Amino acid sequence: MTRPVLLDCDPGIDDMLAILTAVASPEVELVGVTTVGGNVGIDTTTRNALDVLAMAGRADIPVARGADRPYLRSLSARAESVHGDNGLGGVTLPTSSAGPVDATALELIVETVRTATEPVTLVATGPLTNVAHLFAVHPNVASRLARLVVMGGSIGAGNRTPAAEFNIWADPEAAYRVLTEPGLPRPVPTTLVGLDVTYRTAYSPDDLDRLRSAGTVAALCANALGYYLSAYGRDHGMDVVPLHDPLAMAEAIRPGLVTVARAFVEVDTTTGPSRGNTLVDLYGRPTVEVGVDVDVPSTLDFITTQLESLAAVGLVEGELASRGRDWVSR
C-alpha cells in the first residue's frame, strides 16, 4: 500500500528534484503540492510546481498557492543568485495547462489530511510559513500527520548567514512555532534534515554527466543542477552540488537513510546576527529528530534511479540534447 505524501515547497532547483523523486517512487503517492515564497516569489514557485508536475505527466496532482511573505518581517532577499531568476537555473519547461486549485495551501493541507484514509506525511522544503499556519490554526488536524520531514537548519554553520540556513532564516518565527514550540495536542514525529547531512549528499560533475545521458527529464535536471553547481563554486568554493531537498524527500520515502538524534531545537527569532540559527541541544527536552549522519551511496543511488526512470510529457525525447546548453541561461 502506498503512503500519502504532501509536499510544501518553493521550487527552486532542488525542490524540482524533490517533486520528481516523489512522483517516480512507487512507495508513496504524492497527493498534493503547496507552494511558499522563498527561493523565488510565490508566482514563480507556483508556476514551477505546476510545470514540473506536468512535465512528469502528473498535472492531476493538485497545487495550491501559499504564503509569499514570512509571518512577521518581510523577506530581505531571496535566492535568485543560486536558483536563477526563474528558480530553475534558467531551464525552461513547457507551460502546464493546469493552474493552482482555488483552495489556499492551508485549505488543501487541511482537507487532504482530514480525508486521507492513511495518515499523511508532510515534507517541507521551503520556509515553514504554511506549516506554522497549519499548527496555529488547525492544531488538531496537524496532530493527525504521520510524520513531518523538514529540510532546514544546521547543527553547525549556516549557508545564508554564518549562523543560519536559508529556509529557517527566511521565516524564523514560523520555524520557532514548528520546531521549538509546536503547541499541538499530540506531538507529530518531526525530522529535521539540515546542512550537516545535505552537504554530504552531493552530486559531482561526473554524476551530472550520468544524468545527462539518462533521458530528457534526468538531463534537464542535470542542466539545472549545473547552474546550481556554478553558484556553489562561486559562493562557497565547492566542486559538488548538495541535494538538500531531494534528501528530505528520500528520507520521507525510505525512512532510515538519515541517522537521527533526538534533540531540543531553539530557533533564534531575534534581529541580531544569529537570527534564524537552530541551536541544537542533544541533552534537552526533545522536540524533534535531527539528522546527524546519512547513507550517502544509497541515497544518491535512490534519487538518481528515480530521476532516470521518468519519461517527459510535453518534451520530445532527444530535444534537450539537440538544444544542448541553450536550455540554460547563465
Q: Is the pLDDT reported for residue 319 higher than 60?
A: no
Render pLDDT for 80-114 as a digit per residue (tens, 0 to 9). 778 888 999 989 899 999 999 999 999 999 999 99
How far apart CA 151 and CA 266 sit, in angstroms, is: 16
Say if 54 falls within a structural domain.
Answer: yes
Cβ neighbours of residue 43 closer than 8 Å, sequence gap 6 or more: none
Arithmetic mean of pLDDT, 130-150: 98
Say if 329 falls within a structural domain.
Answer: no
Q: Which domain holds residue 17?
A: 3-322
CATH classification at residue 72:
3.90.245.10
Render pLDDT for 149-206 as a digit per residue (tens, 0 to 9). 999 999 999 999 999 999 999 999 999 999 999 999 999 999 999 999 999 999 999 9
Say if 192 falls within a structural domain.
Answer: yes
Task: Give the residue among 93, 94, 92, 96 at the shortest CA–CA distance from 328.
Answer: 92
Say if 65 falls within a structural domain.
Answer: yes
Residue 195 is inside which H or E element, if any? helix 195-198
How far apart CA 93 and CA 63 sit, in angstroms, is: 17
pTM: 0.94
- Total domain count, the chain: 1
Task: Give the residue among 69, 90, 60, 65 at the shortest CA–CA distance from 9.
Answer: 65
Say if 214 falls within a structural domain.
Answer: yes
More confident residue, 232 or 256: 256
Render pLDDT for 48-83 as a digit per residue (tens, 0 to 9). 999 999 999 999 999 999 999 998 887 777 777 788
**Residue carrying C-alpha cell 533521458:** 215
The packing angle between helices 13-23 and 244-253, to 10°, is 20
Q: Is the pLDDT reported for residue 328 higher than 70?
A: no
Please list the residues that pair with 280 across neighbouring strands: 265
Say if 330 falls within a structural domain.
Answer: no
- Residues noted as catalytic: 244
> Of how many residues is the chain composed?
330
Neighbour tally for 85: CB within 10 Å: 12
Say if 300 falls within a structural domain.
Answer: yes
Say if 171 falls within a structural domain.
Answer: yes
